[in-house]
Amino acid sequence: VSDHAVWTWEEAADRLVGPTADLEIGALRGGALLVIADAHRLPVGAAATLDELDVVAVGLAPDGDPAPGFDVVTDDEAVVESVARTTGKCPIAAVTCCQVLRRGEGAPTGLGLLLESTAYGSLQAGDEFARWLAGRTPSEQPAWEGSPVVVSSTDSRTELTLNRPAAMNAYSATMRDALVEALRGLASDG
């Protein structure tokens, strides 16, 4: 595997159980990607430490062999190279994604949404997002006729209809504002 270190499972077992593992290993210390060979042999205690580190943990293991604690388990070096490229381009986003998935597993829906929203908001304030955004050309939005939300009422019923069928009613700031305006109008009508 090129351009990144691959630890043996023995080396990982030694380094991960040290009292300062979290101070020596991780994205903020220049190592967002941690690849461990024969990951299925890593002792459970050492593998548990992976959960606490700010890394994308990739385990190299034969297909079908369990390797708990890893974000990615594969025996395909092309997969490792793909993860390495992506992690190299945006290490903080890659690590944040893994941490959200680790912490979100089994969490109640509300907590999961809070976790995801906090991570997303933090990433949007960062350098990686700014670079990505600067490299994009803004997409052209088609001109729309009429309101994005149509309100129709009868004596017993009020219906809100999203009115952007050409865009499959994709949610936008304009759509949001129209929905808020319509709902506020209904709330004030009693």
150 sits in which H/E element = strand 149-153
**Residue 175 token pair:** 């759509």
Per-residue pLDDT, 3: 62
pLDDT at 112: 92
pLDDT at 190: 59
Question: Can you give the pLDDT at residue 1?
Answer: 52
To which residue do tokens 């929905």 refer?
179
pLDDT of residue 73: 96
- Backbone phi and psi for residue 16, each to the nearest 5 degrees, phi listed first: -75, -25
CB of 2 closer than 8 Å to CB of 28: no
Q: What is the pTM of this model?
A: 0.73
20 residue type, one letter: T
Do 90 and 12 share a domain, yes or no?
yes
Residue 159 domain boundaries: 149-189
Which letter does DSSP use for residue 28 in this model?
G
Instruction: Name which of 149, 27, 37 is nearest 88 in CA terms.
Output: 27
Residue numbers of the chain with a pLDDT score lower than 70: 1-3, 190
Residues 156, 84 share a domain: no
The rounded distance, in Å, linking the Cα atoms of 65 and 38 is 10
Contact 182, 151 (CB under 8 A): yes
Let me know whether 104 and 177 are in one domain. no
Widest CA span in the chain? 74
User: Are 113 and 184 within one domain?
Assistant: no
Number of domains in the chain: 2
pLDDT digits (tens, 9 = 90+) for 7-50: 999 999 999 998 999 899 998 888 999 999 999 999 999 999 99
